[in-house]
Amino acid sequence: LDQADFLGILTPDHQHRMVGACNDRLPNSYLTHRDLLAAYRLGHDKHTPSERFVKVPFFKRLERKAVWLHKAYARKHCGTGKTWFLNFVQTPKWKEVIIIEELGLVRIDDRLIHGQVIAVWCRHQPFTRIVILDDGVAADPFMQDVLRLSAPPGLQVEVFSIAEGIKALSQDAPARRTTMVLLKSPLAAKRLYAGGLRYNALNIGGIGHAPGRKNIFKNISASAEEIVILKELMNQGVKITLLTVPGEKSQAFSDLAGRL
């Protein structure tokens, strides 16, 4: 998809603004949703894109699509190996398309913040904050204080219900790369994903044994329903890794799924 192709599909209808245009010379190109889909069809189905463009995934109505962006823009804003998404954010007059970076870490641990686990992760990755998404903790100020006191010094700790957390994280793109999201269960991970906050990797660090759950790896147990949820996320392209802390032996969920 060359520059001329993109210019050819632009229309005078400026109802939708695309931030971070397909060309570095056009910092604010305008595309209608129809044009965006046309760009997708041109780049994905019919034409081989020029070497100046790279494909970026995005989600529209929970359906994964892709569009081609100019490499100069991608190099400036997208780190190597990072996945970026075009998220549609409703505004009064138009829908603005913003590019949002993948979260630093999405982790399931039913104890949330405990011991030296978070400190080890922070030595492995430069996290600046922890976002806990849990409806119960969000309604319990005392538990919130306990968790904040358990966090390593210098780390900002925020607590939201899952619904509130989806909104907060969707509007806070610049800090996503240094954000660790903590969840208590696979069901919470499913709600997060289904709610529109997409992630391409999920770490499972600890799920305690309970009636109806069976051990699947080290200190990680799961019920039949939770295994189904994890398989659904895996089938949607989420890479699921079972790992307590960096440096220990890890296990890809995809290697276990066939036996569960």
Is the pLDDT at 162 greater than 60? The verdict is yes
Q: Is 249 within 8 Å of 213 (Cβ atoms)?
A: no
pLDDT on residue 203 = 96
Lowest mean pLDDT across 13-17, 65-69, 159-163, 190-194: 13-17
Is the pLDDT at 151 greater than 80? The verdict is yes
| Rounded CA separation 31/21 (Å) | 9
Ranges of H-type helices in the chain? 3-9, 33-41, 71-77, 117-124, 135-138, 141-150, 162-170, 186-194, 224-235, 253-257
Give the mean model confidence (pLDDT) for residues 166-194: 87
| Rounded CA separation 38/33 (Å) | 9
Amino acid identity for residue 117 in this structure: V
Please give the angle made by the CA atoms of 235, 185 and 131, to the nearest 5 degrees: 100
pLDDT on residue 207 = 95
Task: Identify any residues that bridge with 66 across adjacent strands, giving them in sequence order.
Answer: 57
Is the pLDDT at 35 greater than 60? The verdict is no
- 215 compared with 97, residue with greater pLDDT: 215
DSSP designation for 225: H
Q: Looking at the whole model, is its pTM more than 0.75?
A: no
Q: Is 205 within 8 Å of 113 (Cβ atoms)?
A: no
Task: Identify any residues that bridge with 99 across adjacent strands, giving them in sequence order.
Answer: 86
How far CA 99 is from CA of 21, 58, 96, 138, 146, in Å, comes to 10, 9, 10, 28, 35
The SS3 call for residue 177 is helix
- 174 compared with 38, residue with greater pLDDT: 174
Judged on CB neighbours under 10 Å (0-12, 13-18, 19+), 55 is middle
Lowest mean pLDDT across 89-93, 132-136, 153-157, 188-192: 89-93
pLDDT on residue 251 = 93
Is the pLDDT at 22 greater than 90? The verdict is no
* Percent of the chain's residues with pLDDT above 70: 60
DSSP designation for 49: P
Domain locations along the chain = 3-101, 105-257
- 44 compared with 202, residue with greater pLDDT: 202
The SS3 call for residue 72 is helix
- 187 compared with 103, residue with greater pLDDT: 187
What CATH number labels 105-257?
3.40.35.10
- 10 compared with 232, residue with greater pLDDT: 232
Q: What is the pLDDT of residues 208-220, one digit of tens each?
A: 999 999 999 999 9
Of the candidates 237, 198, 238, 201, the residue with the CA atom closest to the CA atom of residue 87 = 198
Give the mean model confidence (pLDDT) for residues 12-39: 38
pLDDT on residue 94 = 30
Counting other chains too, the contacts that 40-48 makes at CB distance below 8 Å and 24 or more residues apart are 40/65, 40/66, 40/67, 42/1, 42/5, 42/9, 43/1, 43/67, 43/68, 47/1, 47/5
| Rounded CA separation 231/109 (Å) | 18
Amino acid identity for residue 175 in this structure: A
What the block records as the tokens of 153 is 């010094």
Q: Is 185 within 8 Å of 134 (Cβ atoms)?
A: no
Task: Identify any residues that bridge with 215 across adjacent strands, giving them in sequence order.
Answer: 221
pLDDT on residue 44 = 41
Q: What is the pLDDT of residues 42-67, one digit of tens each?
A: 444 334 444 555 555 544 444 555 55
- 71 compared with 197, residue with greater pLDDT: 197
